[in-house]
A = this chain, B = another copy of it.
């Protein structure tokens, strides 16, 4: 397959060939490289040492392996909490509202992170998000991904505040999937005013607004108001939601789906 390579090569050129060979084979032995490039083991080792210094490959006893080959395994290991069944069900239900070609907003929060994970193989979408966690979930592959710009709020790992306005003003969203800390029949509330500001702005830029929140959040009131229920088109929650509350929301024109 690989043929003998001509005469005197310049060192960097030979090193490039070594790197190519290592990459192509995934892993290769020193002797094999010696045969292919017609140089001594000492030279090959020196080349490998240099290449390892650049991080292009990894030396092992007997030869070298490509850097890429090494990290096939440990890609996603930072799973923190096992999402509750409710959150997963809610996220799966939200999928029903996403259509091919949509521009979708994914808000911060663990429920929304579940949704992001479900979009990993949907390349025919544009996902806009302010959540670093959601972005990380989709950073390797998946839909076209657009991050809001602005200040990082460490606690929630989301991008929030006035600086998010500049970008949001220039785009339009088909559907926004929002989270919240608490909701009452009137309003959505959250801990941080900067975060509330961004949420409100996002909802105003979206054709449809979906609110995803497990039933535990019903009745919780936090510090900063991020909008009111009138602006929500559909509320997806679990079956733990009080009947009375659901009825009240439906009276206001909100579609409520319980899973």
- Measured between alpha carbons, how far is A16 from B52 in the docked complex, in Å? 20
What residues of B have a CB within 8 angstroms of the CB of A140 in the complex? 154
Q: Is A135 an interface residue (CB 8 A)?
A: yes
Nearest Cβ on chain B to A197's Cβ, whole angstroms: 15
Q: Is A3 an interface residue (CB 8 A)?
A: no
B163 adjacent to A146 (CB under 8 Å)? yes
Select which of B63, B83, B141, B166 is within 8 A of A10 by beta carbon: B63
Given the known interface contacts A149-B146, A152-B145, A152-B147, the answer about A27 and B10 at a Cβ–Cβ threshold of 8 Å is: yes
A60 adjacent to B149 (CB under 8 Å)? no
Given the known interface contacts A83-B55, A157-B139, A170-B166, the answer about A61 and B10 at a Cβ–Cβ threshold of 8 Å is: yes
Given the known interface contacts A62-B8, A63-B10, the answer about A136 and B147 at a Cβ–Cβ threshold of 8 Å is: no
B9 adjacent to A27 (CB under 8 Å)? yes
A139 adjacent to B132 (CB under 8 Å)? yes
Residue of B nearest to A153 (CB): B145
Q: Which residues of A, 65-87, contact B by the 8 Å Cβ criterion?
A: 65, 67-73, 76, 78-85
What residues of B have a CB within 8 angstroms of the CB of A8 in the complex? 29, 62
Q: Which residues of A, 1-47, contact B by the 8 Å Cβ criterion?
A: 8-13, 16, 26-29
